[in-house]
Amino acid sequence: MKTLKIGLFGCGTVGSGVYAILTEQRERIAGETGVDIEIARVCVRDPLKQRAVVLPPEIVTTDAAAIFDDPEIDVVIEVIGGERDALGIISRALVQGRNVVTANKDVIAKYLPQLRRLEELHGGHLVYGASVCGSVPILKIIDETLLTDRVGALRGVVNGSTNFILTRLADGWTWDEALSLAEANGFLEADPSADLSGADAARKLSILAFHAFGVHVLPEDIDTTGIEAITAEDLERATAARCTIKLVAEAILDDGEVRLSVAPRAVPLDSSLASVRDEVNIVEIDCDGIGTQRFTGKGAGSYPTANAVVSDLLDILARRRYRRWAAVIAANEPGGVECV
């Protein structure tokens, strides 16, 4: 049986989940795929930190070179979060021609065309489905849809943390109560402002738009409003109008232009966007041929994201690749349609 050796960067909330799944399900995955997946090295900042999993001391390192200089490591998984260090890890692995799995929406949203270009130049394989909507394999769904159809618009609740908070506020909780529970459940980013400001949703929308329309719009160029200013009075007015407030990310193709926005909106209680509670995400895709498709699943927390990372790893085994927007990748800049 073939052995696939993994170098794992990061063993926090998501990394611990990835380690747990790959070790606990190792025999089952091997039986299904014919490949024995071994976590050969785990690179962390603090080897003495308490974690949700117990790591064998012999595989733990604080030196990235222990992974990059090991020719037997086939796949690099990056789940450290942040931008600068994660970008360095992903880029270095791709330049080495390695396969890379990441859940890092900060890096992917900002540098996606450049990273796809490195993938193309050096022969590695970059997979990042876990960066958007947790357990919902929405990027694969969009790519497969585009084989036979055309996306006209997409919208959704793509940040599980803010959806959890808004759900609790609508149920009568205070802001402090909702935030405390979201933090206790591991739903908030290390910097909660990324969730509350809408920046996290904008990053995910940037990635979705790249796959749906072939444009690369930097998250900071997306019209974005967060939920920080939502008040009890706003929620009461929404309830009186038989609505609820959701942080909605939307991309619309209109006469050759793609319009992107993230903002809290009052949505009717009988709408699909209103139906998702707590950390659950939903994405609606409007297609020319098959109409509107809807996909839901948990989008925050250790297990949903870790499960998505493992699913991405299995896509590498299956040699699945994302659709190439050739004009965008080659030029390292937006192309295909105009973005506003």
Task: Please give the positions annotated as active site.
Answer: 204
Token pair for 209: 């738009």
CA–CA dist 215, 262 (Å, integer) = 17
